[in-house]
C-alpha cells in the first residue's frame, strides 16, 4: 500500500510517498481501509519536530473508512463497519491498524469524508466549549482563527450554547465564513488592533473566555481582552509557541485563569470518547453543525496540503483522499 513517510523532520517536502506492507490486525486492533484522512495542525508540529516522535514515521491523527480485518478479542466492530477515529498516529496511508477501542461507528447519514472532518476538530470544539470553559447563555467568547478547521466549529457550538462570539480572521473571505458560522462580530486581526476592538465591542468589560489557537502573535493581547477572573484557553500555536511567561501577570491582569488543554486528555477514557463523538456526530446528522470541507488533496500531495494549511490558505477542514 501507499503511505506517507517522514524520514527526517523538516518542511512539507519531507512528506514522501512510500510502498509499505498493509498492516495486520494485532490483538485488540482493527484494520481500517481509509477513505478520507484529516489533516490537522498537529501533523505540522510532528513533521517539523516541534512535537517529538520516533523517526521514520507515518503522520496523521485522524481518518475514516471501512473495517477490513479485526484482531483477536475485538467485538465492538466487525468487517464492513464504517468507522472514524482520532489520536492514533499513522493515518496518512491507505490502511491503518487502529486499537478498536478508539473507533467510533459512523451513523448511516454521515459519510466517511464527514467522519474524517468531524473527529479531531469537532471534538476539540466540543470539549473546549462544554468542558474546559463550559460556555453559558449570555457569555462572550473570543475565537481566534475563526474560519479555520476548529474555528468554524467553535463559532457554531458557542452559538448553539447561546454565547456571543467575537471571531478574528485574516481576510474578508474568512470573515464572511466566520459570520456564516454565527460569529456576531468579526475582527480582521491582521489589520485591526483586536484588543481595542474587543474592548469597544464589550464596552470595556472584556470577554469571559478566549479560545486562542494562534499562540505567539495573539497571546499577550488575548490576556488583555479578558474580564476579571476570565479564562485564557491556549489550545494551539499556529503562529509559534508562546514563550515562558510570568504567572504574576495573572494577578495583575485581574485574577485570570489559564489552561493549555489537549483533546487527547479529554477523550482518553472510552466513555468520554463516545460521549463527545456521539454529540458531535449527532449535531452534524441533525444539521445543527455544518462541516466545511474547504480542500481535498490526493494522499500523495500531503506536502501541498501542509503548505496550504501553514500558509493560511485554507478554511474549514482539509482532507487527504487515498
Ligand atoms: P486552522 O484551520 O485553524 O489553521 C490555522 C489558522 O491559524 C490559519 O488558517 C490562520 O487563520 C491562523 N493563523 C494565524 N497566524 C498564523 C500563522 N503565523 N501561521 C499559520 N496560521 C496562522 O488549523 P486547525 O483547525 O487544524 O488547528 C487550529 C489550531 O488549533 C492549531 O494551533 C492546532 O494545533 C490547535 N488544535 C489544538 C487542539 C487541542 O486539543 N489542544 C486540537 C485541535 C487543534 P487566519 O488566516 O484567519 O489568521
Residue that is last in its domain, among 260, 280, 301:
260
Residue 127 lies in a domain: no
Q: Provide the pLDDT for residue 257.
A: 98
Q: Provide the pLDDT for residue 122.
A: 98
Residue 217 lies in a domain: yes
Q: Provide the pLDDT for residue 199.
A: 98
Helix/strand number for the chain, H first, E second: 10, 15
One domain for residues 256 and 274: no
Please tell me if the CB atom of residue 180 comes closer than 6 angstroms to any atom of ligand 1: no
* For ligand 1, mutation pick of 176, 238, 280 (most atoms within 8 Å of CB): 238
One domain for residues 182 and 291: no
Q: Residue 76 maps to which CATH number?
A: 3.90.180.10
What is the distance in A from the centroid of ligand 1 to the CA of 236? 7
Residues 133-174 pLDDT 10s: 999 999 999 999 999 999 999 999 999 999 999 999 999 999
One domain for residues 249 and 141: yes
One domain for residues 190 and 256: yes
Which whole number is the average pLDDT over 226-248? 97
Q: Provide the pLDDT for residue 253.
A: 97
Place 311 in a pLDDT band, splitting at 50, 70 and 90: very high
Q: Provide the pLDDT for residue 260.
A: 98
- Give one DSSP letter per residue of 1-25, joined into a string: -EEEEBSS--SGGG-EEEE-PPPP-
Q: Provide the pLDDT for residue 227.
A: 98
What is the distance in A from the centroid of ligand 1 to the CA of 239? 8
Q: Provide the pLDDT for residue 27.
A: 98
Residues 26-51 pLDDT 10s: 999 999 999 999 999 999 999 999 99
pTM: 0.98
Q: What are phi and psi of 140, to 5 degrees?
A: -120, 135
| Average pLDDT for the chain | 98
Atom number of ligand 1 nearest to Cα 215: 32
Q: Provide the pLDDT for residue 154.
A: 98
Q: Residue 226 maps to which CATH number?
A: 3.40.50.720
Residue 128 lies in a domain: no
Place 224 in a pLDDT band, splitting at 50, 70 and 90: very high
- Cβ neighbours of residue 232 under 8 Å, at least 6 residues apart? 209, 210, 212, 222, 223, 226, 256, 257, 258, 259
Please tell me if the CB atom of residue 234 comes closer than 6 angstroms to any atom of ligand 1: no
Please tell me if the CB atom of residue 239 comes closer than 6 angstroms to any atom of ligand 1: yes
Which whole number is the average pLDDT over 298-304? 98
Q: Provide the pLDDT for residue 115.
A: 98
One domain for residues 33 and 76: yes
Q: For the chain, what is the largest distance between any 2 Cα atoms, rounded to a whole number of angstroms?
A: 61
Q: Provide the pLDDT for residue 12.
A: 98
Residues 92-143 pLDDT 10s: 999 999 999 999 999 999 999 999 999 999 999 999 999 999 999 999 999 9
Residue that is last in its domain, among 208, 235, 260:
260
Q: Provide the pLDDT for residue 191.
A: 97
Place 247 in a pLDDT band, splitting at 50, 70 and 90: very high
Rounded percentage of the chain residues whose pLDDT exceeds 70: 100
How remote is the C-alpha of 308 from its chain's centroid? Answer: 16
Q: Provide the pLDDT for residue 287.
A: 96
Please tell me if the CB atom of residue 262 comes closer than 6 angstroms to any atom of ligand 1: yes
The x, y and z cell numbers of residue 52, run together, are: 517529538
Residues 60-87 pLDDT 10s: 999 999 999 999 999 999 999 999 999 9
How remote is the C-alpha of 319 from its chain's centroid? Answer: 12
Query: Residue 70 is part of which domain span?
Result: 2-120+269-321
Please tell me if the CB atom of residue 86 comes closer than 6 angstroms to any atom of ligand 1: no
What is the distance in A from the centroid of ligand 1 to the CA of 305? 14
Amino acid at each position: 500500500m501507499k503511505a506517507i513517510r517522514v524520514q527526517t523532520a523538516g518542511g512539507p517536502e519531507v512528506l514522501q510517498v512510500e510502498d509499505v506492507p498493509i498492516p495486520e490486525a494485532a490483538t485488540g486492533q482493527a484494520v481500517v481501509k481509509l477513505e478520507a484522512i484529516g489533516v490537522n495542525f498537529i501533523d505540522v508540529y510532528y513533521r517539523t519536530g516541534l512535537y517529538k516522535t520516533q523517526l521514520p514515521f507515518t503522520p496523521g491523527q485522524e481518518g475514516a473508512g471501512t473495517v477490513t480485518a479485526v484482531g483477536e478479542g475485538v467485538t465492538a466492530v466487525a468487517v464492513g463497519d464504517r468507522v472514524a477515529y482520532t489520536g492514533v498516529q499513522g493515518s496518512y496511508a491507505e490502511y491503518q491498524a487502529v486499537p478498536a477501542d478508539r473507533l467510533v461507528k459512523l451513523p448511516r447519514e454521515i459519510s466517511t469524508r464527514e467522519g474524517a472532518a468531524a473527529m479531531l476538530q469537532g471534538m476539540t470544539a466540543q470539549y473546549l466549549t462544554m468542558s474546559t470553559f463550559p460556555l453559558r447563555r449570555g457569555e462572550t467568547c473570543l475565537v481566534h482563527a475563526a474560519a479555520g478547521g476548529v474555528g468554524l466549529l467553535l463559532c457554531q457550538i458557542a452559538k448553539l450554547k447561546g454565547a456571543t462570539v467575537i471571531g478574528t480572521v485574516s481576510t474578508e473571505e474568512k470573515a464572511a465564513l466566520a459570520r456564516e458560522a454565527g460569529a456576531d462580530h468579526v475582527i480582521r486581526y491582521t489589520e485591526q488592533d483586536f484588543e481595542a476592538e474587543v474592548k469597544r465591542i464589550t464596552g470595556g468589560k472584556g470577554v469571559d473566555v478566549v479560545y486562542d489557537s494562534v499562540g505567539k502573535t495573539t497571546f499577550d493581547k488575548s490576556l488583555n481582552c479578558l474580564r476579571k477572573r476570565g479564562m485564557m484557553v491556549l489550545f494551539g500555536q499556529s503562529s509559534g509557541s508562546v514563550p515562558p511567561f510570568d504567572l504574576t501577570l495573572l494577578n495583575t491582569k485581574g485574577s485570570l485563569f489559564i489552561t493549555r488543554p489537549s483533546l487527547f486528555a479529554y477523550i482518553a477514557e472510552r466513555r468520554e470518547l463516545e460521549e463527545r463523538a456521539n454529540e458531535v456526530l449527532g449535531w452534524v446528522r441533525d444539521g445543527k453543525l455544518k462541516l466545511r470541507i474547504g480542500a481535498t488533496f490526493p494522499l500523495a500531495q500531503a506536502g501541498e496540503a501542509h503548505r496550504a494549511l501553514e500558509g493560511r490558505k485554507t478554511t474549514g477542514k482539509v482532507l487527504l483522499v487515498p
